[in-house]
Amino acid sequence: MFIFAHVFLGVLIGLGFWHLTNDRRALPLCIFGAILPDLLDKSIALLFPAIYGSGRTLGHTLLFFAVIVSAGIFLWYSRGTLLGLAFACAVISHQVLDAMWTVPSTWLYPLRGPFPVFILPDYIGHYFWLQISTPSEWVFAFASGIIMGMWYLAREPRVTFLTTRRKTAARYIAIFLLGVMGAYLLVFGLTAIPSAFFAPTYNPITNVMAGLISLGGAIVLLTRPVLDLFS
């Protein structure tokens, strides 16, 4: 999937752990964990394209996740915090959304051989165009921005230009967009219809996952813990 789909799932995971731990740091931490594999691997691909050119290498392996989750368990036992495990959940969410089980040579590295390599002549331009031409990314970016804005404003009561009415309107717009897109992508994914409008380059499995995330986000925005942010 593309970046804002990962960001939005990181937001949802962060909201869950924030509610569980009462620690608001879980939200930005999970967003960072949800995009870390791409931040790591695409940077490496730009530096060493002949070796790591696929853009899904070290950060997309179960070995990488095992290191992160081990650190999270250590922090849980030594510091009594679940933030490390929250971060690990966000990291594995990225690998799941990228369906890494379909690329066992990468996901099970080093057990299944070296990473696959392919070189794109215009690496940055290629992915940038795919990003901006995918409507699902616009919806996920909008919904993520709304929730992150409310997260920030929860600590900044001096910001008064966003009235309760405006915040409520923004929440319902996000719910509507996520609900419509989620149902659309789920239908396209389950029926294996190609070229869905919201995600024209996604395959049926990815459409189903994106649809479930979108519908899940709409439901989360209706729940009381999130509603409190907008009140």
Domain membership flag for residue 154? yes
Domain membership flag for residue 23? yes
Same-domain pairing of 107 and 157: no
Q: Residue 36: which domain range?
A: 1-119
Same-domain pairing of 103 and 165: no
Contact 173, 143 (CB under 8 A): no
In sequence order, the 6+-apart residues with CB closer than 8 A to the CB of 167 are 150, 230, 231
Query: pLDDT tens, 144-180?
Result: 999 998 888 777 655 556 677 888 888 999 999 999 9
Q: What is the pTM of this model?
A: 0.92
Domain membership flag for residue 124? no
Same-domain pairing of 200 and 110: no
Q: Quick one: tokens of 206?
A: 């990815």
Same-domain pairing of 146 and 223: yes
Q: Compute the mean pLDDT over every residue in the chain, rounded to the nearest whole number.
A: 88
Domain membership flag for residue 129? no
User: Higher pLDDT residue, 85 or 225?
Assistant: 85
Q: For the chain, what percent of residues have pLDDT higher than 70?
A: 90
Strand partners, 199: 196
Pick the last residue of a domain from 51, 84, 119.
Answer: 119
Interatomic CA distance for residues 100 and 111, integer angstroms: 14
Domain membership flag for residue 138? yes
Same-domain pairing of 176 and 70: no
Same-domain pairing of 111 and 9: yes
Same-domain pairing of 91 and 157: no
Domain membership flag for residue 98? yes
Same-domain pairing of 105 and 162: no
Contact 198, 214 (CB under 8 A): no
Same-domain pairing of 107 and 1: yes
Please determine, for residue 213, whether its predicted confidence score (pLDDT) is greater than 90: yes
Query: pLDDT tens, 23-79?
Result: 999 999 999 999 999 999 888 888 877 666 678 889 999 999 999 999 999 999 999
CA angle 198/91/87 to nearest 5° reads 120
User: Higher pLDDT residue, 122 or 36?
Assistant: 36
Alpha carbon distances (Å) from 91 to 38, 63, 226: 10, 12, 23
Query: If pLDDT is split at 50, 70 and 90, which confidence band does 121 have?
Result: low
Same-domain pairing of 106 and 141: no
Query: pLDDT tens, 38-48?
Result: 999 888 888 87
The domain tally of the chain equals 2
Same-domain pairing of 63 and 98: yes
Same-domain pairing of 1 and 109: yes
Pick the last residue of a domain from 119, 149, 172.
Answer: 119
